Amino acid sequence: MLPGGVVVAQRPLEPLTQVRILAGQYNTKMLTGEPTLDRLLKATSRAFYLSLRILPPEIRKPISIAYLMARTADTIADTQNIELHVKLKSLEAIKMALNSGECLINPDDLFRSDEKPHLSLPEYPLLSSIPLTLQAIEVLEPNNSSLVKEVLATLIQGMEMDLKCFGKAMSKNKIASLRNPDEVDLYTFLVAGCVGPFWTEVTFTNTPELKDRDIKNISSLGVDFGKALQMTNILRDCPSDIRAGKCYLAKKELADLCLTPDDLLNRSASIKVKRLLINQVNKTIDLYDSAEQYVLSIPPNCRRLRLAALWPLLIGLGTLEALVLENSWMHSEKPAKVSRLWVYKMIIKSLFIVSSDYSIKFWIKQLRASVGKGLLI
């Protein structure tokens, strides 16, 4: 028998089946309340889908809808053959639609007429679903709707910052970089850190056991949590981003090591690049301290909320571990990531220890130690 009274059958259950049992029986209206959006969410949310599924019903709906709208806006920002001015205009239209509830975006108008859209199978329906997603936001409970609109406006501001900083450089085959640590800090807040206060407000105000908690302090921890995850993404994707003309690491921090963005792919600069990696990973690990405090601020009896926060933390640290153990950061053919088997094992273990502060701390300590050892290789 698993924690929470889940009975293990004679034949071991698949890990995701165990998650479904803990979350409740699956149905198409489980996440957003709209079957079409639920299908899109499952197709596009990747690992984050696990956290969405495990959230209590009264919380998962606003967070799922917010994620889907953010994913849609990000698809517009990232798709290669949408022209820069069209991307910026479309993002502005989404912001206006969040205020007015009226969407004036036609997905067919986004692409150059002489090229096929560079979209994966689920992404075009994602763009086509913008009016339906906006409608889903409008029918949320008023406070949740306001929180969703607020975080989406901030996330889109981050996407606009990204496009304005890197869009023109990419078209000129130059490597653009964020200028200094303050600019990196602002960027990571806009595209990820702002989710921390949103998540906190939605979960804590909709959970009676949490209403007396210090939401302001916990939201601050949530900001660092989001930044930790984004910095992990930045470090993981740095090689491919550099090849695409984008450097999300501060130009000043590179200059302090006598590096330029162009040097990052130069094997003759590998010693300095390794020093850069150590500095950036250590800064990111410090942010994960706040992530750990965030998870532990959730009462042990709120198991679903704990799991939803714990899984991204563990996957983030696991990704850093994979990155540093690879020992070829800027010259790897594929981005470092945890395996599907690693995720399955993580899920099963977490179901047993989620209510134990000591066990969570010990697990995180082990992962941090492994990252530290990897940096010494």
The matching CATH number, chosen from 1.10.1200.10, 1.10.600.10, 1.10.1060.10, 3.10.20.30, for 175-377 is: 1.10.600.10
pLDDT for position 119: 56
In whole angstroms, what is the distance from residue 59 CA to residue 45 CA?
Answer: 17
In whole angstroms, what is the distance from residue 317 CA to residue 2 CA?
Answer: 25
Q: Return the CATH fold of 1-168.
A: Farnesyl Diphosphate Synthase (1.10.600)
pLDDT for position 30: 64
pLDDT for position 25: 40
Render each residue's pLDDT in the chain as its tens digit; 377 residues: 333 333 333 334 444 444 444 444 434 346 888 888 888 888 887 778 889 999 988 899 999 999 999 999 998 898 877 788 888 988 998 998 898 866 666 666 665 544 455 555 556 788 888 888 998 999 999 999 999 999 999 999 999 999 999 987 555 578 999 999 999 999 999 999 999 999 999 999 889 888 888 999 999 999 999 999 999 999 999 999 999 899 999 999 999 999 999 999 999 999 999 999 999 999 999 999 999 999 999 999 999 999 999 999 999 999 999 999 887 888 887 889 999 999 999 999 999 999 999 999 999 999 999 999 999 87
Residues whose CB is less than 8 angstroms from the CB of residue 146 and which lie 6 or more positions away in sequence, other chains included: none
pLDDT for position 182: 97
Indicate if 175-377 has the same CATH topology as 1-168. yes
pTM (2 decimals)? 0.88
pLDDT for position 20: 47
Residue ranges covered by each domain of the chain: 1-168, 175-377
pLDDT for position 74: 93
pLDDT for position 27: 42
In whole angstroms, what is the distance from residue 284 CA to residue 185 CA?
Answer: 12
